[in-house]
Structure 1
Amino acid sequence: MATSSERRTAALFQSRLARILLISAGVIALLLAALYLALPPLVKWQAEKLLAEKLHRPASIGNVEIRPFALALTVRDFRLMEPDGKAVFASFDTLAVDLAAESVLKLAPVVQEVRLEKPLVSLVRRDAHRYNIDDLIEMALAAPPSDKPARFSVNNIRIDGGRIDFHDQPKQARHSVTELALGIPFVSSLPAQVNIFVEPLLRARVDGTPLELKGRARPFADTKEALLELDLDGLDLTRFVDYLPFQARFKMPGGRLDTRLVASFSQAKDQAPLLKLSGKASLKSLRLTERDGAPLLKLPELALTLGESDILGGRISLPEIVLTGLEADVIRERDGGVNLQRLLPPAEVHGKPEKASSAKSGAPLRLALGKLELRDAALRYADRQAAQPIKLDAGKLNLALRELALDTGKRSIGIGEIASARADVLVQQLKASDARGAASSAPSPAQPGKAPSASADAQSPYAVHIGRIAIDGWSARVEDQRQAQPVTTTIAPLRVAMKDFTPGATGVFPVELDAGVNKAGRLKLTGDVGLSPLRADLATDLKGLDLLPLQPFFGNLGNIKLARATLSGKGRLQFASSADGAIKGGFRGDVGVDNFSAVDAAGGSEFLRWQSLALGGMDMQFQPFGLALDNVALRDFFARVAIDASGRLNLQNLLRGRPETTPAEPARPPVADAGGKPAAPAPQAVRTAASGKEAQSKLPPIRVRRMTLEGGRVRFTDNFIKPSYSASLMKLGGSITGLSSDPASRASVELAGEVNGAPLSVAGRVNPLAGNLFLDLQAKVRGMELAALSPYADRYIGYGIEKGKLSFEVAYRIEQRQLSASNRLILNQLTLNEKAASSAATRLPVKLAIALLQDRDGVIDINVPVDGTLDDPQFSVGGIVLKVIGNAIARAVTQPFAMLGSLFGGKGAPEMSALTFEPGRSAVPAAGESSMETLAKALNDRPKLQLEITGWADPEADVPGLKRASIERKVRALKVKDMQARGQAVDFAAVTVSPAEYPELLARAYKEEKFEKPRNLIGLAKGLPVPQMEQLMLEHAAVDEDDLETLANRRAQAARDWLIRHGVAGDRIFLVAPRTAGSDKAAGAALAKAEFSLR
């Protein structure tokens, strides 16, 4: 036990300790009281001072309350003015902060509650790039970064009755956020054991529009969780366009946002945070326009359903997106930009390094879209950059995209189905001038960098796969306005189905297309298509495609206007692009053009028509081109050939681009003028052959096994002739077999028909497709009536045709570009009417020409050979034939004997227009009997001809001849006298003097002459040699004009008598008064003759 002293000592110690404690407590109490009373004013004073210094704005605090034991601070009536002190920049009524005791243990602020009442912030936009808080932002950016991250935990944050005013001085607009209430469960960089009683909340009115975000939080479970509900009702987006972080290049006249979203945050211990977002959002009455008011985008409603999505993890779920009434105007400008680019921020200045993509630094994006639906959409596209601008308008478009999966990590896009049940599409191909006139006045968009970044180059393209594409119920109208008359093609209904579509893949995918074309037409395609490389294998079936809407495409080709035609075809189309870009492949099947009719665009009359043109067994290759046809059948066809009142052939008007010429009269056989000179043939509008270089160019392989014609008819009308003339080629039919571009091939031709009732036949072999034309054809017409040609005869020969028949046989052969042909025309019983008054008629004696050409049976048979080369640019088969026929007629009139000589004497026949006599003689010489025989034969075969004979004497040649004849007559007379003395019967004309007898008889005749003769020395007549005697007798012989006239007359009589002896009737031969050549005789001309002329 303790002693009493020990007890006293202990009591004393306790007493002293109590006093010390009491004194300490009193001191502490006094200090706390001083702190409670003095600290708030001190804090208020220092806070106002520091805020003014740091923020360069006057600051005032109404009251500061500090509860040291509660670790609580309350600030009331705070005001922070603008730098000029005239307006309030920020204020609040009350700020209450409660610290947790845990702050001491963690040596970091742990705030268990923050309450802010009626805060106010006033923001002012002074111009496009200056705000009243610019200095505060620059100060914050200039502050050096902390070496270590801040350690804190702020919990249970509440703001009530807040307000934010925004004054936009350049636009003279004011915006406000009122009734602001904010609840934040915690903001922390370190764990803290604080009771969380504040739920996540954001509620306000933005320019009168309610905004509310509500949530729940569980921060101290094993997994921290917070949930926030974001509800917006009709948030007007138009007010915020001017405050985008870039210069907007568009206007937003309308747009409201509604949301019902739920955001949840959770973070398990030692794991990454998880932010999830789900709910619904809708955008209504959105309108975007160019700055000048041109439409860009109109969206009455967009409804979006967001499934539970991991935002931080990049997993987005969108069960449904529905766009109703979307209208978009997309324009590709002439500089290559697209107008919708103006909805995006301006492109970075070229050369700036691009920021790293978030996809590279963060988690890849994985998007799952259940359904994207367009309802009653309208999409308009215009391409103004193309040489031939295009406009596209898709209205009433309903489209659904289902089961889309996007993975940026795998760079893949998968789409389950794209389906559309309706769309009305208009595609317009515009004239370049129209597009220029429609150019937008809006500024051109900034062009993106043309040099892609290296990172973009390194990335592989996305792999896209679409399971199914189904288009049904579409209608499309395609207009080509480049033509003078726009071409419109209607496609309705249109159905397209594709499966397993993968752009860029090397495989193929199945395709089906079924479309109505131009009402009655139908096109079906079924098969496989590949895109890399481009290729297809398609079964095609085209029925009844109306070609009439395509007429403007052919308008530039000629003056033919399509009246009706339908195209059909069935087969297989196969093609593939090669490495050099060429499209190889072809089409195999049958093609037909039926119910075809074309009219003359100028006159409107039908020009060409057929019931059916069938191309069977077609095998067409693209590159290199090749065509094989098993059979071609043309049935029930008609063609009209006409000459109009001006004399122009309708075929000349078919092709455009030819210079107009003065109308010429229809081609007719050129005949000689009155002077006998053959007329030049009329110029031909179309030559029968191209130049040699063109003709010899190699043609692609073409083969037609058999071509058949049936029921053909050709109608010819000549309205230039008055009265007009018409002819018909009827019942034209036949076949061409084995047509080929192989130069060695020969196609067989067999055609038949009727020309005005007369049978026509064509047969032979041809090859028109080879580089060098080959042709070997024979054509015949038998017994065509000539009376129908009387209008031509009236006009051109001055006589109508009473009767007659025409037959012809032609044979043409062309080989190695050399032509040889024969044209035989037979006119039977051609009889002319009375002479007609026609200024265009020939002045030649037509009836004489007919008499010359017509044989004793009334038949005119003319054979016109033709030869030449197709390489001659002046060569024309028709022109040569007409020229030869015309020249034959002219020759018959102007050179009748030459013509008769060629007909009856053959090639090399002697001249028959005159019979040449020996000088001084009148007997028909033996050398002339050949021509006389030909003349007699011609006269006997041409009974309507009459012959006139004119005897001629030539003083220059006949005077010496008559003298020589007188010597011979005297010598022969002496021999006759001797014969008579011997009692012999004598025929003077038959007496001849032999060379042995001649000297003696000549000497006797010389002796009887009365002229002075040379004498010898004794005065007697001197004996002379035969030449000297002949010379002296010739010198002293006398010939006068009567002798010459008598000689000429005897010559005419001798010719007449010879012809009569050879069967020519004497009453057809007339002697004309004899003629003697004068001094104007042409040098070298032989006029010792009997001259013939025909009548």
Structure 2
Amino acid sequence: MKSVKAVLRQYRLLLISIVSIVVLYTLIGFFLLPWQAEKQLVKTMQQRLGVNASVEQIQFNPYTFEATIRQLQLNTEQDEPLAAWEKLYLNLQPLQLFRLTLRIEDISLANTELNFRRYTNTDNTLTRLADKWAATAEPENDAEREEVSEQGDSLFTLEIGAFNYTDGKILYRDEVPNEPFETVLSPINIHLENFSTEAGQTASQDLVIELENNATLTLDGNLSLSPLQLAGQVKLQNFSLQTPYRYLQAQLPFEFKEGRLDLQLAYDIDMAGEAAEVDISAIDIDLADFSIHPSEAAEAILQAGTLTVSNGRYSYPQNQLILDEVSVVDFKLAATRDNEGELDWLQLIADLPGQDSESATEETDQPAAEPTGSPFTLQIGQFSYSNGTFRYRDEKPDEAFETVLSPIAIQLENFSTEAGQTADIDLLIELENDAKLAVNGGLSLSPLQLSGQASLNNFSLQMPYRYVKAEIPVELNGGRLDLQVTYDVDLADETPKVNLSAIDLALAELSIHQPGESDALLKGGTLAITNSNYAYPENQLSMENIALDDFKLAASRNKEGELNWVQLMDSLPKADQDEPEQTNQPPLQLDIANIEINNTALAVEDQMPATPANLALMLSASMQDFSLAEDQQMPFTSNIGLQSGGDIEVSGDLQLFPAVSVNAEANVNQLSLVPLQAYLSEYAHIDILDGKIDVIASLISDQQEPFALQGDLTLADLQLDNQKLNEKLLSLDSLSVNKVDFSLAEQRVAISEVIVDALYSRVLINENGDTNLALLIKEQSASENAEANTAKSDDANGYDISLGRVKINNASSQFTDQNLPIVFDANMQKLNGEISGFSSSSKQPVNIELEGQVDEFGLVEINGALNPLNVTGQTNITLAFSNLDLPSMTPYTVKFAGREIADGKADIDLSYEIVESDLSASNNIVIRDIRLGERVESPDAMDLPLDLAVSLLKNSEGVIELNIPVSGDINDPEFAIGPVIRGAIGNAIRNIVTAPFRFLGSLIGSDDDPIDSIRFRAGRSDIAPPEQEKLLKLVDALSQRPQLALQIPAPFDETADKQALQETAVEQRIESLMSEASSDDQRETQRQKILEQLYTAAGLSPDLQTIQQQMTNIDEEQSEAELDVLAYNAELKKQLIEAESVSDSQLQTLAMERQNAVFEFIKQNGKLNADQLQTQDSVSTETDDGWLKMKFDLGTL
């Protein structure tokens, strides 16, 4: 056996070789290889990537195949940090190469730092490195490329036992946004185990990344490359939404503040098949505490509470997202429309990236991508939105509108975008003033259908009124609306289908006013619409009942004749007058089973008359079967009760289409005429004390007959009084117009009979010879008279008028003539008779037969015939007075002859016949037992030998007979029957001895008109000299008629006198202050200071500075501003005058001062006694050319 030493000698060379190899291997592995690797790494980085690399140490254990690279630092050519790590550790398993496996048992990378920068959309750190690498690579020849392509899949399997990436850091900078974005992801920890590229092998992976603001992203799952499969869980905690907002901030038109996101899900992705299979489950999302603000706006348009998604699932290729529960709590939304009409939300959307027209055009030009996979479907088991708030503000109206809807609650169950699926929805919104909107029903998206019930309770109309306040001419001070409706909306087809049913609407507590008016145009009451239905596209609306109860309405007409309601309608915003679009929509079909108006009060004021007319009435009405269909008869009834007395009832049938048709019965019961007083006062000084109308009539109006009436009319208890004399002017117990038949189409008026019972009239001739009726009629303007005459002419033309008869029962009249030295009074009573039938189509004259009593024992008979339409063509009238008491005629004999009649009787027959305008009249007078009385001085009396005349004419029986014929052409402008008769009497007395008292009362007094008025300046009570002269003439006239009394009014003009008093008060105040002030200033400067003092004390607007700017002139030559002191003072005084208060009592005082001035002036004259001067109440009149007229009235003592 060889010794060890011999063996060593024998194998010394081998051993030396082995040791040398080991030493060399060791040296190369431990020293040369790390040195060469470091050198090559630095060189390669520099040459291929242009990166400066530095390594503190590279270690390699050639026996364990462990490699460590420490403190690697990579910088760009600009010496900017690119990447670095503290330690990279690799544990290779070279023996695994024998089974064609490249196995790395362990990879550890600690404390890495990566810098990634994005320069443009296509330029970043990686693309620059890739471009540099490709640019420095040696070009490949065709053979090499073919070899690479033929090699195909790698022969080796890569295995990594464990990969640990700890305390990593990524510094990301993006310079694409206008404001560069930077963020840091640190620390980053990644753990990967059992990674293999071999088929069927699965690796486990864990990833934890801490983001900004303490956010954490974790991933825990498995990874398989062959086939490619991923499964695991992802969790994102406390993620600040400010991070993505900072990145997008420059592109977004709003500010995004705060916001936190928590997300977790499980994923299972299988890419083994032709189509990827993705299953994302257990999706939970919590989003909270963020707000969105328009740029530079303090208030958020969206203030988030919390958004929670629970147990969501997404499947692909099914493309289905299922969310078990979605909860939104405390979200607050706000929307604002600016004064240009732009909604902030729409503006924000329009300003989002990609919303401009150019980008939209570019996108439109691109061909649409072919859809892949199944269409997307969404299912939500339960969606809840609670305690939401929505604030809306609109600044476009003149007065900004704002409202808040809170809380808002929405519940949605079983929601799905799949066809045929219906979700349950409940919505509750609280509006202003405790109003609530509730909706519950079903919602289907495919097809789009909605159904359910909606209600709006206690809704205040103040909310929409505030929005349109500046556009409507009324003030709405109340109003509540309640609404319930069942809806069914189907939008599946091209033509939508809408069915609204069980509609109930109630409107109450309305209060509508004209601006500045305290009285409401419409107030109170309720409007109720019940059980209504609407269907579209049929466009059919049906209502079971409409009821209006207990409303109070007010209407007025101003002095210009404009009705306030019409003015309000005209003031409403007008719709565009563009031609309506042509649609296939059928016309509206409206059917209302029943319409009711109950206890509706209407107050009407008419300001056109000098004294406004007021009328109050109560209306109740009903209509059945209302419809817009053709030939639909709609029964109706109405009842109007007037507060002044009486009621009107109308019932019948109404038809609207194809033409309006009315067939009704009208009944007017005891309708008072007193409300007509204001209108009668416009034309006459007459008071309506009483009067009632009853009507029973049938009314017809249709296409063939515009208006027809048949019925009876009765006027009862009429009494008209003379305002000036405060006495009865006209009265009657009843006026019955029986069987009236009027037809507008046939232009026919037929009256069977007119019966007048107990007609009384008062006729008076005053001292000036004017009748009471003529004095009562107020003077009308020429234009009004022309219009009235034209209207009468138009109304009468072409009408066929017929009247059966007029019967007069127990009529009476009182006649007084004060135009005589002694007042004459006569009473006619018990006048009865008949006026025969009349027809405009017949030439047959009307026969008149009347008989009555005059005074105590006299008799009057009126007989004859005349044609009312042609009085001058055919008239024959006889008036016979029998047994007239001559002493009662003394007033006429005194005026005519200056003598009284002590005793006697007379019969007078007056006969007038007119044929074709030729008058032939005979006046026969028979006087019996006449005895003249005392002589009475009369300035107008004729100097006649009455005693001789009576002796000569009286026959043996004491009777005197006189016959005075009169004739002439009544069309002759020079012909007047009065002068003709007076001339005949005068000639008869002078030429022959006849009875001197023929036609007593025919004499007329003086033709001079009395002086009936004087004038005053506005705001003054002194009597001007010309007016004093008028008063003296008036006093002289009255002194000759002591039986007359002068009635002195107290006039004032509210407008002119008020303005004059305002000017006087302001000027007196100014002068008073100027007299008290001591100043060396010029008068206008001193006056300016006082005016400014008064203006400021009165608190008027605009302010003084504004007025000074308006009154400042700029010198064109010197370009200097100079205050126009005179104009400035005048403007201040004008404003003070307009603000000066003048009370009604001041106007009354001024009126009484004028009255006292006239009273004292006449009294000082001394020609009239105190009884002849009487005062009247104050009266409002109008100023003419700066003068106010005081018009006198005359009375009797």
Normalising by structure 1, report the TM-score: 0.59
For 2:321 and 2:244, how far apart are their aligned partners in 1?
35
CA gap 1:16/1:33 in 2 versus in 1, 3 angstroms: closer
Query: Is residue 58 from structure 1 mapped to residue 181 from structure 2 by the alignment?
Result: yes
For 1:330 and 1:873, how far apart are their aligned partners in 2?
69
Alignment match of 1:408 (pick from 533, 536, 557): 536
8 Å contact from structure 1 (residues 330, 339) kept in 2: no
Alignment match of 1:522 (pick from 634, 647, 660): 647
Query: Is residue 887 from structure 1 mapped to residue 983 from structure 2 by the alignment?
Result: yes
Query: Is residue 630 from structure 1 mapped to residue 752 from structure 2 by the alignment?
Result: yes
Query: Is residue 281 from structure 1 mapped to residue 450 from structure 2 by the alignment?
Result: no
Query: Is residue 510 from structure 1 mapped to residue 635 from structure 2 by the alignment?
Result: yes
Partner residue in 2 for 1:228: 383
| Residues 605-631 of structure 1, C-alpha deviations (whole Å, 9 max, x = no match) | 221111111112111223454221222
Q: What amino acid does structure 2 have at the position aligned with 1:704?
A: L
303-312 vs 776-785, which moves further:
303-312
8 Å contact from structure 1 (residues 404, 415) kept in 2: yes
For 2:648 and 2:285, how far apart are their aligned partners in 1?
71
| Pairwise CA distance, 1:198 | 4.7
8 Å contact from structure 2 (residues 319, 376) kept in 1: no
CA gap 1:549/1:716 in 2 versus in 1, 3 angstroms: same
Aligned 1:825-904 pairs, distance under 5 A? 825-850=925-950, 854-875=954-975, 879-880=976-977, 882-896=978-992
8 Å contact from structure 1 (residues 752, 762) kept in 2: yes
CA gap 1:586/1:866 in 2 versus in 1, 3 angstroms: farther
For 2:818 and 2:530, how far apart are their aligned partners in 1?
71
8 Å contact from structure 1 (residues 625, 700) kept in 2: yes
8 Å contact from structure 1 (residues 322, 372) kept in 2: no
CA gap 1:19/1:697 in 2 versus in 1, 3 angstroms: closer
Residue 53 of structure 1 aligns to a residue in which SS? coil
Partner residue in 1 for 2:503: 370
| Residues 801-844 of structure 1, C-alpha deviations (whole Å, 9 max, x = no match) | 11222222223334444443333222333322122122222234
8 Å contact from structure 1 (residues 699, 771) kept in 2: no
Structure 1 vs Structure 2 CA RMSD: 5.4
CA gap 1:645/1:820 in 2 versus in 1, 3 angstroms: closer
Aligned 1:522-601 pairs, distance under 5 A? 522-532=647-657, 533-577=659-703, 584-601=706-723
Residue 103 of structure 2 aligns to a residue in which SS? helix
565-574 vs 837-846, which moves further:
837-846
| Pairwise CA distance, 1:260 | 4.2
Partner residue in 2 for 1:428: 556
Query: Is residue 702 from structure 1 mapped to residue 827 from structure 2 by the alignment?
Result: no
For 1:318 and 1:774, how far apart are their aligned partners in 2?
82
Partner residue in 1 for 2:456: 321
CA gap 1:115/1:103 in 2 versus in 1, 3 angstroms: farther
- Identity fraction in percent: 18
Partner residue in 2 for 1:23: 103
Partner residue in 1 for 2:401: 252
Alignment match of 1:159 (pick from 269, 282, 286): 286
| Residues 981-1002 of structure 1, C-alpha deviations (whole Å, 9 max, x = no match) | xxxxxxxxxxxxxxxxxxxxxx
Q: What amino acid does structure 2 have at the position aligned with 1:516?
A: G
| Residues 347-388 of structure 1, C-alpha deviations (whole Å, 9 max, x = no match) | xxxxxxxxxxx9996634333353111232234579x9xxxx
8 Å contact from structure 1 (residues 320, 370) kept in 2: no
| Pairwise CA distance, 1:546 | 1.8
Q: What amino acid does structure 2 have at the position aligned with 1:414?
A: S
Residue 407 of structure 1 aligns to a residue in which SS? strand
Query: Is residue 450 from structure 1 mapped to residue 450 from structure 2 by the alignment?
Result: no
| Pairwise CA distance, 1:887 | 1.9
Partner residue in 2 for 1:1043: none
Residue 652 of structure 1 aligns to a residue in which SS? helix
For 1:720 and 1:99, how far apart are their aligned partners in 2?
130
| Pairwise CA distance, 1:278 | 3.5
Q: Which has the larger radius of gyration?
A: 1
For 1:696 and 1:471, how far apart are their aligned partners in 2?
36
CA gap 1:770/1:381 in 2 versus in 1, 3 angstroms: farther
CA gap 1:643/1:194 in 2 versus in 1, 3 angstroms: closer
| Pairwise CA distance, 1:176 | 6.8
Partner residue in 2 for 1:963: none
Alignment match of 1:750 (pick from 832, 844, 849): 849
CA gap 1:306/1:811 in 2 versus in 1, 3 angstroms: farther
Alignment match of 1:393 (pick from 487, 506, 521): 521
| Residues 232-289 of structure 1, C-alpha deviations (whole Å, 9 max, x = no match) | 47x473xx304x8xx34443366554444433464475x266565444434223xxxx
Alignment match of 1:241 (pick from 382, 393, 398): 393
95-104 vs 194-203, which moves further:
95-104
8 Å contact from structure 2 (residues 832, 851) kept in 1: yes
For 2:416 and 2:279, how far apart are their aligned partners in 1?
16
8 Å contact from structure 2 (residues 872, 914) kept in 1: no
Residue 449 of structure 1 aligns to a residue in which SS? coil
| Pairwise CA distance, 1:649 | 1.3
Partner residue in 1 for 2:589: 463
Gaps of 5+ in 2: 1-94, 108-156, 193-202, 257-275, 336-373, 477-490, 997-1197
Residue 840 of structure 1 aligns to a residue in which SS? coil
Residue 890 of structure 2 aligns to a residue in which SS? helix
For 1:511 and 1:431, how far apart are their aligned partners in 2?
35
8 Å contact from structure 2 (residues 474, 513) kept in 1: no
CA gap 1:405/1:898 in 2 versus in 1, 3 angstroms: closer
Normalising by structure 2, report the TM-score: 0.55
Aligned 1:452-491 pairs, distance under 5 A? 452-455=579-582, 459-491=585-617
8 Å contact from structure 1 (residues 325, 376) kept in 2: no
| Pairwise CA distance, 1:56 | 4.2
| Residues 112-145 of structure 1, C-alpha deviations (whole Å, 9 max, x = no match) | 9886747557999xxxxx99933999xxxxxxxx
CA gap 1:600/1:205 in 2 versus in 1, 3 angstroms: same
For 1:104 and 1:859, how far apart are their aligned partners in 2?
159
CA gap 1:224/1:620 in 2 versus in 1, 3 angstroms: same
Query: Is residue 611 from structure 1 mapped to residue 760 from structure 2 by the alignment?
Result: no
For 1:625 and 1:29, how far apart are their aligned partners in 2?
116
CA gap 1:843/1:542 in 2 versus in 1, 3 angstroms: same
For 1:783 and 1:397, how far apart are their aligned partners in 2?
69
| Residues 763-801 of structure 1, C-alpha deviations (whole Å, 9 max, x = no match) | 233331469764333221111111012123223311111
CA gap 1:110/1:718 in 2 versus in 1, 3 angstroms: farther
Query: Is residue 602 from structure 1 mapped to residue 702 from structure 2 by the alignment?
Result: no
Q: What amino acid does structure 1 have at the position aligned with 2:643?
A: N
For 2:227 and 2:744, how far apart are their aligned partners in 1?
89
CA gap 1:183/1:223 in 2 versus in 1, 3 angstroms: closer
Residue 241 of structure 1 aligns to a residue in which SS? strand
8 Å contact from structure 1 (residues 314, 363) kept in 2: no
For 1:62 and 1:821, how far apart are their aligned partners in 2?
132
Residue 888 of structure 2 aligns to a residue in which SS? helix
Gaps of 5+ in 1: 1-14, 80-91, 125-129, 138-149, 210-218, 286-300, 342-357, 661-685, 901-1095
For 2:821 and 2:606, how far apart are their aligned partners in 1?
46
